[in-house]
Amino acid sequence: MKIVITGVTRGLGRALAEEFIRGGHTVLGCGRGGEAVFDLRMTHQAPHDFSVVDVSLDSKVALWAAKVLEAGSPPDLLINNAGLMNRLSPLWEQDDREFTKIVDANLRGVANVIRHFVPAMVAAKKGVIVNLSSGWGRGASANVAPYCATKFAIEGLTKALAAELPAGMAAVPLNPGAIDTEMLRQVRSDGAAASPKPAAWAKVAAPFILGLGPEHNGQSLSVGNLEE
């Protein structure tokens, strides 16, 4: 299977990429960290490929997508994982620059990737798009308003996309659950360590994601729970 993943340099994206590769799938990923991307390139060579891309920049995503798509068929699985967490504070203390940075990465970045990869998938009338949501995309907490706003938006954006796709395809907003990542440690420094590590999570999440298909189109799912 040909899998495209954003945000592969750390956390859930890196863990998923490693797990998919172990399973024999081809992974084409991007991230903002040049050193981490170089490490991935050296560790996992062709047919895998990794590029330095800031998904909030539409022109950079366009170039990356053109490179991936000219090399062969469209992805069977597109995972929008890249995202940022806001600085913890009440909404009124978040300035416009901070708020815009979160929206650009978490929401516009997803739209940019969809804009440049999904037309080829639609033309082939096959493929699954998974947009990483959050528990904070279905419920809210204090001091994470910008992050909540983007993840609530991901839920709506993905469901609308699901209604636009041809039969045989699927778009799914997926809540990964609470995982011991750098992002979770930003907001739960005292409790993150009790959550599963990314590598352990990926052993459950990777087969779960690979099992998604047209019958799950538009469903808000959580890893390990196809009934939610």
Model-level pTM? 0.91
Range of the domain at 56: 2-222
Asked if 128 contacts 172 with a C-beta cutoff of 8 angstroms, the reply is yes
In a domain, 228, yes or no: no
In a domain, 22, yes or no: yes
Residue 209 confidence (pLDDT):
97
CATH classification of the domain holding 63: 3.40.50.720
SS (H, E, C) the chain: CEEEEECCCCHHHHHHHHHHHHCCCEEEEEECCHHHHHHHHHHCCCCCEEEECCCCCHHHHHHHHHHHHHCCCCCCEEEECCCCCCCCCCHHHCCHHHHHHHHHHHHHHHHHHHHHHHHHHHHHCCEEEEEECCHHHCCCCCCCHHHHHHHHHHHHHHHHHHHHCCCCEEEEEEECCCCCCHHHHHHCCCCHHHCCCHHHHHHHHHHHHHCCCHHHCCCCEECCECCC
In a domain, 176, yes or no: yes
In a domain, 70, yes or no: yes
Sign of the CA dihedral with 49 first, then 55, 59, and 61 last: positive
In a domain, 204, yes or no: yes
Residue 227 confidence (pLDDT):
40
Residue 183 confidence (pLDDT):
58
Rounded to 5 degrees, what are φ and ψ at 140?
A: -120, 160
In a domain, 157, yes or no: yes
Residue 228 confidence (pLDDT):
36
In a domain, 119, yes or no: yes
Residue 38 confidence (pLDDT):
96
The total number of structural domains in the chain stands at 1
In a domain, 65, yes or no: yes
10-residue block means of pLDDT along the chain (228 residues)?
96 95 98 94 95 98 97 94 95 96 97 98 97 94 96 98 98 87 57 71 94 97 67
Q: What is the pLDDT of residues 6-49, one digit of tens each?
A: 999 989 999 999 999 999 999 999 999 999 999 999 999 999 99
Residue positions annotated with a catalytic role: 147
